[in-house]
Amino acid sequence: MSAAQRIDLSSATVLITGGARGIGAATVNKLITLGARVAVFDRDVAGHELRSYDRLLILAGDVCDREAVEIAVARVVEHFGSLDVVIANAGITPAPGTIRRTDPEQFDRVIAVNFGGVLNVVRASADELVRSGGHVLLVSSCAAFTPGMGGAAYMVSKAAVEQLGRALRIELAAVGTSAGVAYFGVVDTELARATLDNDPIGERIGAQLPWPLNRRLAADAAADVLITAVRRRSARVIAPRSWLPYFWLRGVLNPLLEARLVKDATVHEIIRDLERA
């Protein structure tokens, strides 16, 4: 397979982390329907949202455990004979909190899963992807490039994923392999609802996001975005599309938005309430 060719998912082997629920599970089910051989690596596979298929391999493990990730990649290759695509989707969303008041271990855990886990998967699978001329897709977030408060660990981790994807894209191109980054706004998943709907302060933080940026993307729609990005070997994909102007103009818009947020009385009140919680 050449990095210039589109990926034929009907004959591809795909490894997806965080594939037991939400966006990951929706993506897995669609990939299987398209004919792909799919391996899921997830910390908690009990009660997963996956259908039963012959071409599905489910592996339990933590992306923060480098050795476990390496073993999982080896098992995928042993089981299916190759590895063509990796979708690094595993991630966690912490409860809202300021940098001063968030428990350091919780902050570190978010970085470890959302960035360290992605790095572990990339390192473990890179040689196999180079061998197959495959593609790796890293799932970041629009939070990677948007000013905000109450979720610094998440924003930092997703910004790191973005930069990892940029470096990886350039390095892998030299050896006939491709890499891309997916940026999502708010996807309607259990994780998002827990943070933005079921947490009173999280709901107030979410209310600061204006229309149309606050429009939610269904998990099935997000899965379609990932699959299309893999097929096309897209360098980047942003969804919902209402985020596209912000993505391209962020260098201009972010200083203006930051200047407004640091003076906003409602934002100040939310931060004080976070630090009292």
Instruction: Report residue 86: phi and psi, to 5°.
Output: -125, 130
Residue 6: pLDDT above 60?
yes
Rounded to the nearest 5°, which phi and psi values hold at 169?
Answer: -60, -45
Using CA atoms of 25, 223, 83, 41 in order, give the dihedral in degrees to the nearest 10: -30
- Mean pLDDT score of the chain, rounded to an integer? 92
> What is the band of 176 on the pLDDT scale with cuts at 50, 70, 90?
very high
Predicted pLDDT of residue 3: 59
Pick left, alpha or beta for residue 52 (phi over 0 → left; psi -120 to 50 → alpha; otherwise beta): beta
Cα–Cα dist 139/230, whole Å:
12
Amino acid found at 178: S
DSSP secondary structure code for residue 135 in this structure = E
The pLDDT of residue 4: 62
- What are the E-state strand segments in 113-185? 135-139, 178-184
pLDDT at 47 over 80: no
Domains of the chain listed by start with CATH number: 9-276 (3.40.50.720)
Q: How far apart are CA 238 and CA 183, in angstroms?
A: 5
User: If pLDDT is split at 50, 70 and 90, which confidence band does 67 have?
Assistant: very high
Q: What is the pLDDT of residues 146-164, one digit of tens each?
A: 998 899 999 999 999 999 9
Over 70: is that where the pLDDT of 51 sits? no
Kindly state the percentage of the chain with pLDDT values over 70.
Answer: 96
Query: pLDDT by residue (tens digit) across 216-238?
Result: 889 999 999 999 999 999 999 99
The active-site residue out of 53, 154, 183, 246 is 154
pLDDT at 215 over 90: no
Question: Distance between CA 136 and CA 36 in Å, rounded?
Answer: 15
Q: Name the pLDDT band for 249 (thresholds 50, 70, 90).
A: very high
Q: Is 246 among the catalytic positions?
A: no
